[in-house]
Structure 1
Amino acid sequence: MDFIDDRIERYAFNHTQDEGPLLTQLKQETHEKLELPQMLTGRLEGRFLKLLVQLLGAKRVLEIGTFSGYSALSMAEGLPEDGRLFTCDVDPAAIEMSKKYFHRSEHGSKITLLEGDAMKSVEKVDGPLDMVFIDADKVNYLNYYEAVLPKVRSGGLIVVDNVLWSGRVLNPKDESDHAIDDFNRSVHADDRVEGVLLTVRDGVYCLRKK
């Protein structure tokens, strides 16, 4: 994330709505107890995801990659009371923490956590979906995308995180670098969607299904 000017990042953070005490506490505990805490969505992207859910009037959302639950709770805030969010993860430590915070949140009852292999979890979720957020292992981004696209309604949204990959997409070297670059090139050429790649944090691709 060091490819973004710290002063600009802080300015954007300070001018974005506060996420509230529960998510602030979740963020702190994530940094204290989980490996790779930089994977946390954080205020900027979390509030952005909530806003997208609200703008879509979404009622059914799927998330691939729960981590500690910050993004799931952010999106659940934007759902109506009868809305449902399905989120999946495979890491026991992350699942334990996310469950704890889902239980504590007034929005936790909207969330269903699916444990285990993400591709198998996706098969369990019926469409139509209003929105999908992909933020899991990078080498499977295209596989996740192809698996969820048929389940997304026309006019629905697929949001994909880390698509700038700390700038490494400019000079891909390892497997994850190439996977992200390949994903970006593929969806850019996909006439089933229309998209914009935003320079929000580590890059967010917003893809609207036609």
Structure 2
Amino acid sequence: MDTAIELEKYILAHIDEQDPVLQELERETFLHVLRPRMLSGHLQGTILTTFSQMLQPQRILEVGTYTGYSAICLAKGLADDGQLHTIELNDELESIAQKYFQKAGLSEKIIQHLGDAKTIIPQLQGPFDLVFLDGDKRDYIAYFDLVVDQIRPGGIILADNILWSGKVVEKLDEKDEQTKGILAFNQKIKDDPRVSQTIIPFRDGLMLIRKK
């Protein structure tokens, strides 16, 4: 018996049922989009929703929309008049995300931006209560440097994939710029006196960063 697989099945059987809209979005992503494993998925989605509902944020920033799964999960916790800004580089994914934002009844709360997050973030006005980083791992430090001053004290940054399939503890391939980016980011956050942080070691690792 594969204990890890059985534990995941057990966890999924004991958390809230997956939203039908998210279930449909997940199915379409796996059928029609490259690298569908980039999707947050049900377990991570419930965690994102729970964090957002606890904070009841007025403004959320997401870097890396993909097909919109995580944006929908995060937007469920927004204050009544809150907004979520989400940034995606790949314009071929825009229509899928937009379709499901509408199906979820969240299209008025979610504002889509297409392009390089490093260019778009400075154009957005803070403060943000919650930021979710799930873009190019080589640019995590750049994203952090751009958003940290736009986050209110006590605000939260969630950074995805910070264990990077275990590569953070394996012998480093000097050509692997993605892993280098994650390693540098993790160390930078550890050393930054403006924030406190912990790591949630599920899936590919989620770092919870709180601005002091």
TM-score (structure 2 length as normaliser) = 0.94
Residue pair 1:163, 1:184 contacting (<8 A) in 2 also? yes
Counterpart residue identity of residue 82, structure 2: G
Determine the C-alpha separation between the residues in 1 that align with 2:150 and 2:18.
Answer: 30
Determine the C-alpha separation between the residues in 2 that align with 1:92 and 1:114.
Answer: 9
* 1:150 equivalent in structure 2: 149
Counterpart residue identity of residue 94, structure 2: I
Counterpart residue identity of residue 140, structure 1: D
Counterpart residue identity of residue 18, structure 1: E
Q: 1:90 deviation in Å?
A: 1.3
Residue pair 1:73, 1:108 contacting (<8 A) in 2 also? no
Counterpart residue identity of residue 163, structure 1: I
* 2:79 aligned with 1:80: yes
Q: Which aligned pairs between 1:5-154 and structure 2 lie closer than 5 A? A: 5-154=4-153
Q: Structure 1: state its 5+ residue gaps.
A: none
Report how many aligned residue pairs link the two structures.
207
Q: 1:78 deviation in Å?
A: 1.1
Identity between Structure 1 and Structure 2 (%): 37
Residue pair 1:16, 1:43 contacting (<8 A) in 2 also? no
Determine the C-alpha separation between the residues in 1 that align with 2:71 and 2:58.
Answer: 14
Determine the C-alpha separation between the residues in 2 that align with 1:108 and 1:16.
Answer: 26
Residue pair 1:83, 1:110 contacting (<8 A) in 2 also? yes
Determine the C-alpha separation between the residues in 1 that align with 2:184 and 2:5.
Answer: 28
Query: Taking CA–CA contacts closer than 8 Å with sequence separation of 6 or more, which of the two structures ends up with the larger relative contact order?
Result: 1
Residue pair 1:165, 1:203 contacting (<8 A) in 2 also? yes
- The ranges of structure 1 where at least 4 consecutive aligned residues each deviate by more than 3 angstroms after the TM superposition are none
* 2:182 aligned with 1:180: yes
Counterpart residue identity of residue 192, structure 1: R
CA deviation profile, 1:83-108 (whole Å, cap 9, x unmatched): 10000001122212101111222122
Determine the C-alpha separation between the residues in 2 that align with 1:159 and 1:176.
Answer: 18
Counterpart residue identity of residue 90, structure 1: L
Determine the C-alpha separation between the residues in 2 that align with 1:191 and 1:200.
Answer: 26
* 1:170 equivalent in structure 2: 169
TM-score (structure 1 length as normaliser) = 0.95
Determine the C-alpha separation between the residues in 2 that align with 1:107 and 1:16.
Answer: 23
Q: 1:43 deviation in Å?
A: 0.9
Counterpart residue identity of residue 113, structure 2: L
Determine the C-alpha separation between the residues in 2 that align with 1:78 and 1:108.
Answer: 14
- Say which SS state the counterpart of residue 76 (structure 2) adopts: helix
Determine the C-alpha separation between the residues in 2 that align with 1:17 and 1:55.
Answer: 16
- Say which SS state the counterpart of residue 50 (structure 1) adopts: helix
Residue pair 1:131, 1:156 contacting (<8 A) in 2 also? yes
Residue pair 2:55, 2:77 contacting (<8 A) in 1 also? no
Residue pair 1:34, 1:93 contacting (<8 A) in 2 also? no
Q: 1:5 deviation in Å?
A: 2.1
* 1:206 equivalent in structure 2: 208
Q: 1:14 deviation in Å?
A: 2.1
